[in-house]
Amino acid sequence: MKKCLKTVLLVLCLALLTACSKNTNSSGNSGRTTSETTPDPANKPEAEPTEQISGTPAPTEPAEPTETPVPTANPIDDMYIKDLYKDEFMVGMALPNSVFGKSFLTETVKNNFSSMTFENEMKPDYTMNQNENIEGFPATETSPIISMTGIKRGMDFAKENGIKVRMHTLIWHSQTPDWFFTTDYKSDSPLASRDVMIKRMEGYIRNVMKYLEENYPGMVYCYDVVNEAIDPGQGEKNGLRKESKWYEIIGPDFISYAFEFARKYAPEGVKLYYNDYNCAQKCNLIIKTLTPILEAGNIDGIGMQCHLSTSDKISSKVYRTAKSFSDAGFQVQITELDIGITGGEYAELVQAMKYRVLFETMQKAKRDGEINIDCITIWGLYDSISWRKTEFPLIYRQKGTELEKKLAWYGIMQDPSVKGVEW
Ligand code: GLA
């Protein structure tokens, strides 16, 4: 793998022609209109720093198409993402409940993705009912009642289509109700003690794992046990996030408790992950915090969220960090990938190139034994339902009642029209 990491954006004349030619595709998706994908050379962003790599042709300025391209079938339209990467890692999709039941959406998901994450329905603010836990008190004090009815449609869909599920997320400062941290689950009661919260954490993890295993045996292959516990910007010496009730009540060892309990109750072979954002900046701190947990045998991997933008370098933001985690003994997943567009219409090509570079780089790194990565999950199906919808960060867009593949999809598929290297 080359050391010097520079971006070379190669947008060839061919890109324009082939992009236009994808108006027709044979996978049931409606075609893309020429105006959506033909970049206006006047809008071309400043090229990223270029460095000639031997054997790589010099960047070519996009040329004006000289004649209207004739739409031709692209064989890649008959292929699917998960198949292209099946020898290296799974490819996942995060989904909101609204997707299930709409056949054109689920068709796309089942063909292209082998792993699935619920965007919300497995988070603590969805898994418990306050009244049930109040009424059940004191039996519920350290054994919260779990009612995950919201996952039924999604789990049924995953089961029917042989899609594995990554559970997101057990212990998180956000999307966990405040009442969960009080003595008796009443909103105006005082905070529970450290001792109660350690036992309640154990009860929560045990009951969620039990619920999933009893109702959906064998479907969940990994858990995000702790999400976003590290934030050196909050001023704590240990670099942990201060604004977290888990941290406030239990203290810094809430992370190791969570993994200890998760290992205790997780079915054999299920992988346990720590998940976070800005991993490149926090890389050393994450490794330092998690190494004792790894040594205790209670964690398997680190999930890198990867909410990126087109101005990010895949090499430094993703590759190097993933390699450091892998070198430190952790399995790696990219868990929440989206790449927001910064720039004009032309930027869709840059976005496609970034998606391509990321997937290709990880594929090669896995093949070469450099990075132990086992899944890349894209955080959302199509732009208008993304949490970053103003940045159009995903690989599909909605067109009427259909889903349309964006150039980013072709980038992931390593289509020759999306040429990009970043070294
Ligand atoms: C974080 C969480 C995700 C999701 C996104 C925003 O990355 O881990 O579950 O909430 O924020 O959508």
Q: Comparing 33-37, 66-70, 135-139, which segment has the lowest mean pLDDT?
A: 33-37
- How confident is the model over 63-72, as a mean pLDDT? 58
Cβ of residue 227 lying under 6 Å from some atom of ligand 1? yes
Whether ligand 1 lies within 6 angstroms of the CB of 37 is answered as: no
d(CA 17, CA 1): 32
Confidence of residue 69 (pLDDT cuts 50, 70, 90): low
As given in the structure block, the two tokens for residue 40 are 């206006």
Active-site position among 88, 228, 360, 404: 228
pTM for this prediction? 0.85
**Binning pLDDT at 50, 70 and 90, where does residue 10 land?**
very low
What is the pLDDT confidence band of residue 177, given thresholds at 50, 70 and 90? very high
140 lines ligand 1 (CB under 6 A): no
Which residue among the candidates 119, 121, 260, 336 is catalytic per the annotation? Answer: 336
Residue 67: active-site member = no
Model pLDDT, residue 15: 41
- The first and second tokens of residue 423, run together, are 């070294």
- Residue pair 1/371 in contact (Cβ under 8 Å)? The answer is no
Average pLDDT over the chain reads 86
Contact (Cβ atoms closer than 8 angstroms) between residue 231 and residue 310: no
> With a 6 A CB cut-off, is 336 part of the ligand 1 pocket?
yes
User: Cα 160 from chain centroid?
Assistant: 23
- For residue 23, pLDDT beyond 90: no
Look at 102-106, 118-122, 339-343, 416-420 and tell me which has the smallest mean pLDDT.
416-420
Give the mutation target among 276, 336, 377, 390 for probing the ligand 1 site: most ligand atoms within 8 A of CB.
336
257 C-alpha to ligand 1 centroid (Å): 23
Q: What is the dihedral of CA 407, 410, 412, 418, to 10 degrees?
A: -80
**Ligand 1 centre and the CA of 110: distance in Å?**
23
Q: How far is the CA of 241 from the centre of ligand 1 (A)?
A: 16
133 compared with 13, residue with greater pLDDT: 133
150 alpha carbon, distance to own chain's centre: 21
